[in-house]
């Protein structure tokens, strides 16, 4: 698949992803605001249940982190047949992993929430919500894998259309559902919208990609195709699971600070999700473009693109974080009128101005490293910081030294900067190049073998 100028291609991919992510964040903001409208305890319960659901969904990263990379490399190397085989393999994997995730949420909800130190006034609200989210988790596994395949084929606008329809459906259903069913009603609206998304993705696979899965594809686990995905996906999942586990420790620390601190954490995290949107969209777009360039053997282009993407991400993330901090008191009033929560949240948003540029290194460079095949380094290099700085620092500063939420946020910032600079050092020293060359040689061997056959 020929590629022209890298910069236009990156922007063409990044803007639909930005809008797609923004739509998802907007739904989360509205859900948090609706829950907070019931009470601050309900707002905290909403956030806690969704934190656990997000942690469980990371099981899907075992394949999700590798699908896009493997398919883009095959497409860049001219192996559409292998790319299609990998796409079909993700369906069976999604069934088994999604089903496992849903079961863990349904059966183990009480255990997860107790581990998170859910306050007594929060636990009875969070428990039914987490259990009701179980079907949506399984449906999300299918939507995530199918949309990753679409993006790898550069069909980001089609994916955006599905996401917009899905979220609009969710918003249309969430108000009556929460009115009649409380917090579990939110989960029912999520499941209905995800079912619609699955149907639309299946239609797009047929119409845009010419992919028509057989019934067996939804349950079988082909070894050869999944082995290539797991080569990238297992380290990628380990890095994501490590971060999420450390982050959940920090949330458990916040839970020990009380329901008010948990509510403050929930509201500020929603605003932080808005800040990181551009950096995340840029990182996902860079992963796709770098994967195509590695498959085609264009490593110099990949290096220049990542440097440019990182510069854009740093500039925008810093500007958006600063604007959000300045508007913090106004934005926090969307969730609560509690003066103490607003004052504490405003302080955290100013610390976020220091945090977000460090996070941008991770969002852009880790995705680029993974696209070259250098997937193990982020796990090994980041593990120490995640355990000692993110998890340990949250406890040390937040509880032991008594700094509360500002101490937890300082731990967040320190972890992002340490890992981000390590990732940039890896990229700037070109230590990823041997992995990229090995991936390109593999594409050439497979292409040569298919031509002789």
Per-residue pLDDT tens digits of the chain, which is 453 residues long: 344 333 346 777 788 888 888 888 888 888 888 888 888 888 889 988 988 898 888 777 777 777 888 898 888 778 898 899 999 999 999 999 999 999 999 999 999 998 888 888 889 999 999 999 999 999 999 999 999 899 889 888 898 899 889 999 998 998 898 888 889 999 999 999 999 999 999 999 999 999 999 999 999 999 888 888 887 777 877 777 888 889 989 999 998 998 899 889 989 998 998 888 888 888 888 888 888 888 888 899 999 999 999 998 899 899 999 999 999 999 999 888 899 999 999 999 999 999 999 999 898 999 899 889 888 898 888 889 999 999 999 999 999 999 999 999 999 999 999 999 999 999 999 999 999 888 777 766 655 544 344
How many angstroms separate the CA atoms of 302 and 9, rounded?
12
Q: How many CB atoms lie within 10 A of CB 84?
A: 17
CA angle 195, 154, 60 (to 5 degrees): 45
Q: What predicted TM-score, i.e. pTM, was given to this entire model?
A: 0.74
154-172 in b/e form (b: 16+ CB < 10 A) is bbbebbbebbeebbebbbe
DSSP strands (E only) in 30-184: none
For the CA atoms of the chain, what is the radius of gyration? 21
Element holding 344 (H helix, E strand): helix 339-361
Residue 291 in contact with residue 68, Cβ under 8 Å? yes
């Amino acid at each position: 698949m020929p590629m022209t100028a890298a910069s236009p291609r990156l922007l063409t991919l990044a803007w639909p992803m930005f809008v797609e992510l923004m739509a998802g964040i907007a739904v989360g903001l509205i859900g948090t605001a609706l829950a907070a409208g019931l009470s601050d305890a309900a707002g905290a319960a909403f956030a806690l249940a969704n934190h656990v659901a997000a942690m469980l969904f990371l099981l899907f990263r075992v394949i999700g982190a590798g699908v896009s990379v493997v398919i883009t490399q095959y497409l860049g190397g001219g192996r559409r047949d292998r790319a299609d085989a990998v796409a079909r393999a993700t369906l069976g994997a999604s069934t088994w992993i999604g089903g496992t995730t849903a079961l863990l949420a349904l059966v183990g909800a009480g255990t997860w929430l107790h581990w998170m130190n859910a306050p007594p006034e929060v636990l009875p609200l969070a428990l039914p919500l987490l259990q009701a989210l179980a079907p949506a988790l399984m449906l999300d596994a299918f939507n995530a894998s199918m949309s990753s395949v679409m993006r790898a084929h550069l069909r980001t606008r089609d994916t955006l259309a599905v996401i917009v329809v899905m979220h609009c459906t969710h918003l249309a259903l969430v108000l009556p559902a929460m009115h009649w069913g409380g917090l579990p009603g939110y989960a029912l609206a999520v499941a209905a919208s995800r079912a619609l998304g699955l149907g639309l993705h299946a239609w797009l696979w047929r119409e845009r990609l010419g992919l028509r899965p057989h019934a067996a594809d939804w349950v079988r686990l082909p070894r050869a195709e999944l082995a290539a995905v797991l080569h990238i996906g297992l380290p990628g999942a380990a890095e994501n699971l490590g971060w999420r586990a450390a982050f959940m420790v920090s949330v458990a620390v916040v839970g020990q600070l009380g329901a008010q601190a948990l509510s403050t954490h929930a509201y500020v995290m929603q605003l932080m999700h808005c800040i990181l949107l551009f950096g995340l969209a840029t990182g996902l777009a860079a992963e796709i473009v770098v994967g195509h360039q590695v498959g085609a053997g264009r490593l110099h282009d990949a290096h220049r693109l990542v440097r440019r993407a990182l510069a854009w991400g740093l500039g925008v993330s810093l500007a958006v974080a600063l604007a959000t901090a300045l508007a913090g008191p106004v934005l926090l009033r969307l969730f609560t009128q509690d003066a103490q929560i607003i004052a504490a949240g405003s302080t955290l948003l100013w610390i976020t101005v220091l945090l977000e540029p460090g996070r941008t290194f991770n969002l852009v460079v880790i995705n680029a490293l993974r696209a070259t095949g250098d997937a193990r380094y982020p796990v090994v290099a980041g593990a120490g910081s995640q355990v000692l700085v993110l998890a340990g620092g949250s406890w040390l500063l937040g509880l032991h030294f008594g700094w509360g939420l500002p101490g937890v946020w300082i731990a967040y910032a320190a972890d992002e900067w340490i890992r981000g600079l390590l990732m940039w050092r890896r990229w700037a020293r070109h230590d990823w190049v041997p992995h990229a060359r090995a991936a390109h040689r593999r594409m050439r061997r497979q292409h040569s073998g298919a031509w002789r056959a």
